[in-house]
Amino acid sequence: MKKILIIGDITDKHNERFIKQLNKSNKLIIYIFSYTNIKNDYTNKLFFVNKRFPNIFYKIPKIKGFLNIIDTTICLKRISNNQKFDIININALSKHFIFSYKILRKMCNVLIITPLGSDVYRISKFQKWIYSKIYNYADFIVAAPLSFQTDVKEIFKVKNNKLVNLDFGSDIIDSIIENKITKYDAKKYFNIENNYVISCGYNASPAQNHKIIIQEIVKIKDKLPNNYILLFQMTYPNNNEYKRGVEDMLRKYDINYIMFSNYLQDIDIVKIRKATDLFIHIQNTDAYAGSIQEYLLSGSKVINAAWINYPDLEKHGYPYYIVNKFEELSDVIVYSINDNSKLMTEQHNLVINKKSWNYQGQKWINFLSEI
């Protein structure tokens, strides 16, 4: 059996779902190295970063990051004295590893980096320089889709023979395929069965551009269905000040809305997808297309930003309406609501079905078992 160390926060839902899939194999023993220590039900093989300085120092922004780097380095050094792994997989690089990537290299036979998006597109020039060095130490870089692979290759100077085309799956896509709830029943669950539901982004990050969406909605309020309601899924990250700013703006313009700020079960997320008539997706960057495909599979109309490309879908024709710049969004919203064209095809459905964890999980298990 292979010992595999997954590096990533144990509170992250992507990591949780990933590890649950790998645990289905009787050929792999999964450990996790987490930045936080929290009780969970999917692994008891947990290493976590201990804080080695008085808590008051971690409240000082100018030194907090440096202390986290020191803590991570010391923890990994101690683990390396007692543990050797067949494979280490880093899910999303962090600046915490600036001093410890050589330790990681010595701790394993195979080092894998799996960038998730923000650790590629939303980092400083200095981080790009440091991360390039860490990528050079890795045996494999796992990235999908191909457009994301290309960006990773160019930004971090990655050699072709290191790139592996593997994807993270989506439990939500699995549930959408299996769950036959109707759009009406999904709306009724949230007491919005009589509303035209417009979902705006899928998390609480300012990069989702919620405020720009609201500004564009204000321009066309009189052109929207009388029963419209904006839906905001704002369960993560924990950015209360930003959420309050969005709500203040919605109240200022007297916009009908519903906002979800607390943790949602997967079945609740499925119902949001199915309850949505129109999904607006104009965030700054997106690597894996999970949420947009969940809405498409649920039968929602989708507006997507022209600067976010999904070649695997688009080679079969665009399954969504395109907005080329923020100022065009209001017009595209009106057009998409009134348009009766069928943009989704059977080919699109086949592509999205392969994004399920049932499909991708087995591909990951095969890959890790064979290398």
3-state secondary structure of 7: strand
Q: Looking at residues 236-264, what average pLDDT do you find?
A: 95
Q: Is the Cα torsion angle 61, 232, 116, 79 positive or negative in sign?
A: positive
- pLDDT tens, 61-83? 889 999 999 999 999 999 999 99
The pLDDT, as a whole number, for residue 42 is: 61
Nearest CA to 218 out of 269, 165, 254, 179 is that of 254
DSSP for residue 158? -
User: What is this structure's pTM?
Assistant: 0.77
- 269 HSE (CA, 13 A, CB side): 24
Beta carbons within 8 Å of 366's beta carbon, 6+ residues apart? none
The pLDDT, as a whole number, for residue 17 is: 86
DSSP for residue 185? H
CA distances from 261 to 93, 217, 244 (A): 27, 21, 11
Residues 48 and 68: their CA atoms lie apart, in Å, by 12
Q: Contact 300/197 with Cβ under 8 angstroms?
A: no
Q: How many CB atoms lie within 10 A of CB 350?
A: 10
Q: Is the Cα torsion angle 176, 113, 19, 12 positive or negative in sign?
A: negative
- pLDDT tens, 341-368? 999 999 999 999 998 998 999 999 999 9
- pLDDT tens, 163-175? 999 988 888 999 9
The pLDDT, as a whole number, for residue 39 is: 66
Q: Pseudo-torsion of CA 284, 91, 176, 200, nearest 10°? A: -20
Residues 240 and 210: their CA atoms lie apart, in Å, by 14
Question: How does DSSP assign 66-118, residue by residue?
Answer: HHHHHHHHHHHHHHHTT--EEEEEEES--GGGTTTHHHHHHHEEEEEEE--SH
Domains of the chain and CATH, by start: 2-169+356-370 (3.40.50.2000), 172-353 (3.40.50.2000)
Q: Contact 88/110 with Cβ under 8 angstroms?
A: yes
More confident residue, 289 or 263: 263
Asked whether the predicted pLDDT for residue 36 surpasses 90, the reply is no
Residues 56 and 125: their CA atoms lie apart, in Å, by 29
The pLDDT, as a whole number, for residue 287 is: 63
Q: How many CB atoms lie within 10 A of CB 88?
A: 24
- pLDDT tens, 143-169? 876 778 888 999 999 999 999 999 888
Q: Contact 138/112 with Cβ under 8 angstroms?
A: yes
Residues 354 and 336: their CA atoms lie apart, in Å, by 27
Q: Inter-axis angle of helices 210-219 and 240-252, to 10 degrees?
A: 0
Determine if residue 289 is left, alpha or beta; phi over 0 gives left, psi from -120 to 50 gives alpha, anything else beta: left
Beta strands of the chain (E only): which ranges?
A: 2-7, 28-34, 46-48, 85-91, 108-114, 140-142, 163-164, 196-200, 228-233, 257-260, 278-281, 301-305, 321-323
Can you give the three-state secondary structure of 188-228, one letter per residue?
Answer: HHCCCCCCEEEEECCCCCHHHCHHHHHHHHHHCHHHCCCCE
- pLDDT tens, 105-143? 999 999 999 998 888 888 899 899 999 999 999 999 998
Residues 27 and 3: their CA atoms lie apart, in Å, by 9
Asked whether the predicted pLDDT for residue 44 surpasses 80, the reply is no
Q: What's the token pair of residue 123? A: 């980092």
